[in-house]
Amino acid sequence: MTLRVQILKEKYSQSLGLPFKELLPETAIKQVISELKIKYKKRLFDPLITLWAFLSQVLDTDKTCHNAVSKIIAHLAQEEVEVPSTDTSAYCQARARLPEELLEKLFNFSAQSLEEKVTTEYLWCGRNIKVIDGSTVSMPDTVENQKEYPQPSTQKPGCGFPIAKIGVIFSLLTGAAVALCIDILNTHDIKLARKMYSFLKPNDVLLGDRAFCAYADMFNIKKLDCDAVFRKHQSRTTTMRKGKIIGDCDKLVTWYKPKSCPKGLSKDEFDALPSSITVREIYYYIVIPGFRTQQVSLITTLLDKATYSTLEIVGLYGKRWDVELDLRHIKTTLGMDILRCKTPSMERIEIHVYLLAYNLLRSLMWSAGTTYNTPPNRLSLQGTRHHLLNFIPKLETADSKRRIRLYRSLLKIIVHKVVPDRPARSEPRVTKRRPKAYPRLTKPRQELRKQLQTA
């Protein structure tokens, strides 16, 4: 058993461990395991092997546990030692033994490690920009999942899938996910956001859409020594007649504390709010053909027009769309849109592993971009994953000197194809490929099977 574990550790450290050595070194994983006082028996799937196998699984296009176990068997068969069973139960049980807190800490560690690589030359007006947004993920229709993450109330029982709401904060500079919150479907985005404000660091600027633009949030973000740039909520009327004009379509306005406590705040939190705050409102038009939005009103706590000009802030908000692309990378490119695990705790672990794998790819893109003077955010995440998966078998079998050369070649190849910058690109929101003409499921499958049997 000890020999097989050592072989697998060497294989994973040579393949996944080398590209991600700075962001997720083996010593950091062992340190977190020690801090959490995780005790485990001497078995093939210890926490380190299980974690690396899990990461390899979500990075692969074939995400089945059978494929993950098959890789482990292939690693061991090459060294002519006893191979484990092809049954996936041992690996699945090992994944279930991974504590949620372990994955949370490793995810936070990866985000912090990548953020520390950012130098002042990449900052916006000397500030680090974070972007926030919410999304949903679907999961298998099991009793446990339905109980904790119920399906939409508009769907009949047995005809839908459990859905979880996730809130994520991304770094605009590195593209990495720096904070995560998971809740039920009908949770408002702003409730998720308030659980993630603690991940903001002083001097950060938080960028978001109109869902996050609330009186209490503008105050609380400023209280953290951070600033916010949000689109104005539709419930607030837009007029240029009130406020202090400081530029074309740019003014300082006073917001007053709501008369009654909003639903998302406790009475103590509401009482702690000041009677008024001063914010900056920027109003502009979008005249690009194909854009649904034609009028935009921004609210920000960046009040100094000399340091943060109107055009700088308008241009910054134009980059908010990057968060949509980051979520698409995680859900579509990596495949997190539909989760595979059967229990709520494993779903949360799976989400954290996906975000950890995503951050590891972002770190590889950052290393490649900064090494070869290419903007890291202009590199292809899908291309990076393809190159990594194709280089992994070569990295596993190479000696130490050749492995370093292969790693440098990997970084060089990643920057070969830069994603073109296509501002103001617009496409019709239609699909060409027709779906199959099957009707929707309107009854539980058991009832439909009985109808087929009695027909």
pLDDT, one tens digit per residue, over 200-218 is 999 999 999 999 999 999 9
Nearest-angstrom CA–CA distance, 134 and 182: 10
What single DSSP character describes residue 168?
E
User: If we measure between CA atoms, which residue out of 333, 387, 380, 340 comes closest to residue 355?
Assistant: 333
Q: What is the pLDDT of residue 216?
A: 94
**Contact predicate 426/290, CB 8 Å:** yes
**Contact predicate 251/231, CB 8 Å:** no
**Contact predicate 50/98, CB 8 Å:** yes
Query: What's the average model confidence in pLDDT over 108-123?
Result: 91
In whole angstroms, how large is the CA radius of gyration of the chain? 25
* Reported confidence tier of residue 76, pLDDT bands at 50, 70, 90: confident
- 119 vs 3, more confident: 119
> What is the sign of the dihedral through the CA atoms of 288, 291, 295 and 297?
negative
* Reported confidence tier of residue 239, pLDDT bands at 50, 70, 90: low
User: If we measure between CA atoms, which residue out of 363, 333, 252, 367 comes closest to residue 299?
Assistant: 252
Query: What's the average model confidence in pLDDT over 65-82?
Result: 86
Q: Are β-strands 204-208 and 128-138 bridged in parallel, bridged antiparallel, or unpaired?
A: parallel
* Reported confidence tier of residue 410, pLDDT bands at 50, 70, 90: very high
pTM score, whole prediction: 0.93
CATH-assigned architecture of domain 103-330: Alpha-Beta Complex (3.90)
User: If we measure between CA atoms, which residue out of 48, 84, 55 comes closest to residue 69?
Assistant: 84
Nearest-angstrom CA–CA distance, 364 and 371: 11
Residue 241 scores a pLDDT above 70: no
Sorted by sequence, the CB contacts under 8 Å of residue 415 that are 6+ apart come out as: 368, 369, 371, 372, 374, 379
Nearest-angstrom CA–CA distance, 377 and 362: 9
Nearest-angstrom CA–CA distance, 40 and 36: 12
DSSP-derived 3-state class of residue 306: coil
Residue 369 scores a pLDDT above 90: yes
The tens digit of pLDDT for each residue in 292-346 reads 667 889 999 999 999 999 999 999 998 998 899 999 999 999 999 999 999 999 9
**Largest distance between two CA atoms of the chain:** 80
> What is the sign of the dihedral through the CA atoms of 156, 160, 161 and 167?
negative
The counts of H helices and E strands in the chain are 16, 9
